[in-house]
Structures are given as C-alpha cells and as structure tokens.
Amino acid sequence: MKRIIIPILALALACTACTDLNVTVKSELVPENFPLTQEQFVAASGVIYTEFALGFADNYWLMAELSGDGFVLTANGGNWFDGGRYKELHYHDWNKNNPLISSTWSWLYKTINSCNKVYSLLRDAEESEAKSTSIAELRTIRAFCYYLLIDNFGDVPLIREFGEDLRARDKTDVVFDYIESELQEALPALKAENNQSTYGRPTQPAAYAILAKLYLNAEKFTEQNRYNDAVAACDRVIAFETQGLTELTPRDRFPKMFDFDNGPEFKELLLAIPYDENNLQSFKPSRYNFSIYHPTAWNYKFTVSSCMRTLPSHYDLYVEEGENNDIREQVFLKEEQYLQDGVTPMILPVTKVQLDSRYSGNDKDAIVSYHIRLTKEIEFRNVPNFDTGDDVSGRLAGYRSNKYPPSHTQSGREQSNDFPVLRYADVLLMKAEAILRGATPTNSETAVSLVNRIRERAGCKLRNSITLEQLLDERAREFSLEAWRRNDLIRFGKYENTWLLKTDSDIRRRLYPIPEAEIRNNPLLEQNPGY
C-alpha cells in the first residue's frame, strides 16, 4: 500500500483547499488512457490517502488529544510555548487564529477536494468492478472527512463536486444525512476483506464502523436518538468476526498492534494509515513523549522534544481498584528509568543546580549521579507561560506514553507505526454504549458482556455490571492517544469538566471556531457562537 500511495504525493500537494476550489489540478491522466486495471484504479486514488494521512496523525491528533483530559503539552524554559497554541487547547480558550484548528479545517477540505477531483476522473472510466470499488472507497473517505468536520466545527459547506463555487455553511443535519447516504450507497461496492489487499483503504467493516460513530453521536448532530441504528451498524461489523475477517487481537499480541512494524496482519485494525519513516511521513509520537534522555540511553538515532505529559488523573484510570495487570498500562514510562535491559539504571551526572534550578545550597555545583526519574505530578514553574521548567527535574515532570514505540533503524523523528483510525474494539464498546443509552440488545450480547471482552483482553477484572461513566473510563484506557477522547467527552457531557489547570465550562467550546483566514477567503461563512 505504501509503495502505491507515496508516488502520488505530488498530485496530492497540487490539490487545493475549500476556499480556492477553482484551481485546476494538472494531471496527464485522462479517461482515454487511465485508469483501466485494478492497479491503476488504486494508484489513481492514492492521492486521497496521501492527503488524508498528512493531516490525521499530526496536528489533528494533537488537537483531539490535548483538548481532552489525558495529555498536556507544556513549555520548557520557553521552548514549545509556540504562541500559546497548546496552552489554549488545554484551557479551552482557543481563538479563530489557533494554527492547529486552522490546519485541521484546511486538511479536511483538501482531502475532500482530492476525493472530488479523483471522482471526476474515475466516473468517466469504463464500467468495471474495480471502478465501482474505487469510487465507493473515495466516497467513504469523503464521508468520514465530513463526519470529522461536523464533529469539530458544526455547520460546514457541503462540497459535492470539484470546482464548485464558494458556498455558505450547510446545517449539520443536512451534512449528517449526506454522510449517511454516501456510506449506505458505497457499502455494497466496498470489499468485505480486511487484509493486505485492502489495507489502508475503506472496507465494509470500516464503513459500518463510521456509520456506528455517526449514529452514536446523532443526538449531538441532529437531536435524534439513533442508538438502535448504532447497534445495527455494529452488528454488521461483528458478523465479519464470525467470517474470520476481523477479530480482537489476542492479549499477547496487543502491544504489537501499535508497534513500528504493525500492519494488515492485525485484523482488529478496520482502518489504518500506513505511515512510513521514509515515504509517508507525519507521525512522530516519540518526539513528544520520550524524555530527552531516552533516545541516547536506548540507542535511538533521533532527538526529541519531550513536551507531552500524561495527566495524573488519566494514568490513575489504569490502576483502578488496586489492579496492576492492565496490559494497556504497561506502555507508560514512569518513575525510575532503566536501559532497555530493564536492569541497568539510567544515570545522569549532573550538578545539583542543573537538577533543580531553584536549589540554592552552597554545593549547588556539586555533581551527583542522578537516577533519571519521571514524576507522576506535573508542576508548573510559570503558569502564565505554561512552563514546567528547563532543568532536569522540569523536563522529567509527568509520566510519558510509549504506546507507539519507534524503530531503532529510523534516522529521524518520523515513525513507521501505522495509525489505528478505527478498531474492532471500538465497535464492541460502541454497541455496549448504545445499549446502555437505551438501544435494544441483540445476539444475546449485553453492555457488560461486550465491555468484558475488552477487559478480559486487557487482563482486568471482569465486571458484573457497567455504568456509562465506567464505560467512558474504559474508552479512555483502550483508545488513549487514538484521537477519540474529545469526541467521547462531548458525547458523555464531560468536556466542560475541570482537569489540571483547565476550569473552562463554556458549552460553546464543544465546537471550534471557523478559522479567520477561511472567513476572509469566503465571506459567506459565518462564525460559530462565542468566537
């Protein structure tokens, strides 16, 4: 898949954003000579997946996680303050010029524009199964992009054709209906197989999972209860498990599902983005999560920023009721650190004042052998500057997640971990949630039996009952750093809660502002309330 989509990158970069829809995308591919074969249809569509990948696990990933209650990206001695963009996400006091928000809007419309452009080419090709499948796949990606748009921005312009004139924002329920119809019409032509031949592209299980997401959040989008529809969509995915087309990854393989060499052998990955350190770049979680001392100690070849920390309250979810066997907890770097043999301490020769710049003893220049230790609590030395300090102890504040381990062969920060956009575990927990919210149980499955499948895989004690709040905590543990936390918190009414330094409770923050640059370029756009 990576070999197919990377050469199309130049075409992807030629496509334009929503605010400039009339720019011609130059291509030598015309209906008379292209596409004809299955391989050509896949290659012609590669631009879509390249564009989608370039934004998902970069700025959007940061935006989705840092606005939630799991992680925070702080400054160190001024480094990584970056005009306050990450601080704004934590405090929920962003404005219409926040670059992460602007890039997310632009990325989604660039991907939609690529879909529309490729569709204008493919629909004139000779009829074939390959053509039908490729068009169904691009319609699914386009529908998913619109799902992310209404989830983040509410009413948005609905651009159905390449080259359409600028238009005002369409109501969310109108876009909702469009997403639903696009997915329903695409499904029959999508492949059911979830394997190497379809990896990185939408399949029937992925499309049904997106439908389940849509229905589960329907009350937010349309004020309609669609929980029975969510169960029905989940059941369509669950049926693929009986056919051997998807599965829950076994416990002993669970950590490998997020490793640098993950791939289509993990049938739990219903839709993944196949990042590659050399070709399809944009995913660099270790850059943010490693301490600055880990690469050298663990023989990696790249430098890190060491700026993303785990909120103590998020880590505490993994040790509920005194349990310590949750395999999902084992990804955290915490307390005293050791070399990768697990035995030899990571020792740093450092002066006492370098260890803590506030030290004022007469022996502040005395060198000590410090056993590197990541502390659970996150202490801010300068709250207005969102700064934890630039000395050793300041850099080591906060536990870190190593959910996406890097490769020892990579020469830079870019990683080859494929990103899990949609997983089968999510389908099971979505069905459980829909039942808890009033949907009719099916197939002898209850909310607690579905949740227990996830807990059993994680190594946690099984439950006799489950509440919505407990299910939200389960989602936090299961999908940590998978870009779903903001979406979950809003649906559960918890986005206005207080965590760490954040106290904002303005319900209008459930939607981001329309970027100011987009309104300048398209005066038909109106701003969201509160901005």
CATH of the domain at 85: 1.25.40.390
Task: Tell the burial category of 480 from Cβ atoms under 10 Å away from its Cβ (0-12, 13-18, 19+).
Answer: buried
For position 325, what pLDDT does the model report? 87
Residue 53 belongs to a domain = yes
Query: CA 388, CA 396: separation in Å to the nearest integer?
Result: 9
Question: Of 349, 380, 401, which closes a domain?
Answer: 401
Give the integer Cα–Cα distance in Å for 427 and 435.
12
* Within a domain: 105: yes
Residues 6+ away with beta carbon under 8 Å from 168: 157, 524, 525, 526
Phi and psi dihedrals of 331, rounded to 5?
-80, -10
Q: What is the pLDDT of residue 299?
A: 95
Q: Report the pLDDT value the prediction gives residue 29, as an integer from 0 to 100.
A: 53
Regarding whether 513 and 397 lie in a shared domain, the answer is: no
Same domain assignment for residues 396 and 507: no
Q: What is the pLDDT of residue 22?
A: 39
- pLDDT at site 1: 45
Ramachandran quadrant class, 512 (left: phi over 0; alpha: psi -120 to 50; beta: rest): beta
> CB under 8 Å to 225, separation ≥6 — which residues?
218, 219, 438
pLDDT at 137: 97
In a domain, 155, yes or no: yes
Looking at the fold, whether 513 and 387 belong to one and the same domain comes out as no
Task: Report yes or no: 501 and 380 within 8 Å, Cβ to Cβ.
Answer: yes
- Give the three-class secondary structure for 401: strand
* 13 and 157 fall within a common domain: yes
- Do 515 and 388 share a structural domain? no
Separation in Å, CA 516 to CA 89, 101, 360, 523? 17, 10, 48, 10
Q: Is residue 355 part of a domain?
A: yes
In a domain, 342, yes or no: yes
How far is residue 284's CA from residue 279's CA, in Å, rounded to a whole number? 13
* β-sheet bridge partners, residue 271: 422
**Domain-located, residue 486:** no
How far, in Å, CA of 116 to CA of 138, rounded? 9
DSSP label at 155? S
Q: How many other CB atoms are there within 10 angstroms of residue 375's CB atom?
A: 15
Q: What is the CA radius of gyration of the chain?
A: 23
Backbone angles phi, psi at 173, to 5 degrees: -65, -30
Same domain, 383 and 511: no
DSSP string, 50-65: HHHHHHIIIIIHHHHH
Q: Are residues 64 and 180 in the same domain?
A: yes
- Domain-located, residue 356: yes
Tell me what pLDDT residue 464 has.
97
Residues in a beta bridge with 422: 271
The residue out of 401, 425, 440 marking a domain boundary is 401
| CA–CA gap between residue 410 and residue 429 (Å, rounded) | 35
DSSP secondary structure letter of residue 333 = E
Do 368 and 509 fall into the same domain? no
Domain end residue (candidates: 377, 401, 425): 401
Q: For residue 102, what are the contacts with CB-CB under 8 A and spacing of at least 6?
A: 515, 517, 518
φ/ψ of residue 419, rounded to 5: -90, 130
252 lies in some domain:
no
Token pair of 261 as six digits: 């060499």
Question: pLDDT averaged over consecutive 10-residue blocks of the chain (531 residues)?
Answer: 42 38 45 67 87 95 98 95 97 97 97 95 90 96 98 97 92 98 98 94 98 98 97 98 96 97 97 96 96 96 95 94 84 97 97 96 96 98 97 97 96 96 98 98 98 97 97 98 98 98 97 97 96 96
If we measure between CA atoms, which residue out of 152, 167, 317 comes closest to residue 221? 152
Same domain, 149 and 39: yes
Cα 466 to Cα 187, 227, 361, distances in angstroms: 33, 17, 54
The domain of 148 spans 2-190+501-521
Q: Are 454 and 426 in contact (CB under 8 A)?
A: no
Tally of domains in the chain: 2
Task: Please give the structure tokens belonging to residue 494.
Answer: 């918890």
- The confidence score (pLDDT) of residue 114 equals 95
